Amino acid sequence: MSDQTVVLFDGVCNLCSAAVLFIIKRDPTKQFRFASLQSRYGQLQLKRFNLSATELNSVLLVHDGKLFQKSTAALKIASKLNNGWPLLYLFIIVPGFIRNWIYDWIARNRYAWFGKKDECMIPTPEINSRFID
């Protein structure tokens, strides 16, 4: 699976689940695969990159064997989507500590603002093949 580009996300977060569906709709070449951080695969990736199994407050992107986190992961994902979304990658010039401060603020408040599910989202049959685990 090292040649795949995998987005790891908090499977019980409504904002995160909506972001996954957003990516799927704008990824016509189906380059992204997905797994929740709570899944067996997600937990293995956290261990592989020496991240805490209880820290589920960041989207992670595994691409070419490298891990990208927080705003860098989000911008790299946007750079691969269709239409105008790759233009967001221009924000990579903003220093990471500033981008991640904003990212962390949203992450801290995501459950209060967008809600939380009791369990991970269940993909529809037509997108199920894009999910790992």
**Ordered per-residue pLDDT tens for the chain, 133 residues:** 445 799 999 888 889 989 999 999 999 899 999 999 999 999 999 999 999 877 778 899 999 999 999 999 999 999 999 999 999 999 999 999 999 999 999 999 998 998 887 666 666 777 878 888 7
Asked whether residue 131 is assigned to any structural domain, the reply reads no
Asked whether residue 129 is assigned to any structural domain, the reply reads no
Asked whether residue 128 is assigned to any structural domain, the reply reads no
Asked whether residue 42 is assigned to any structural domain, the reply reads yes
The predicted structure's pLDDT at residue 2: 46
Domain that holds residue 101: 5-118
Asked whether residue 31 is assigned to any structural domain, the reply reads yes
In order of 12, 30, 60, 62, 65, the CA distances from 111 in angstroms are 9, 28, 18, 24, 30
Residue with tokens 């977060």: 13
Asked whether residue 39 is assigned to any structural domain, the reply reads yes
The span from the CA of 2 to the CA of 8, in Å, is: 14
Asked whether residue 99 is assigned to any structural domain, the reply reads yes
Asked whether residue 107 is assigned to any structural domain, the reply reads yes
Report the relative pairing of strands 32-36 and 5-9 from DSSP bridges: parallel
What is this structure's pTM? 0.87
Nearest to 4 by CA among 41, 50, 51, 38: 41
DSSP state of 38: T
The predicted structure's pLDDT at residue 127: 81
Domain count, the chain: 1
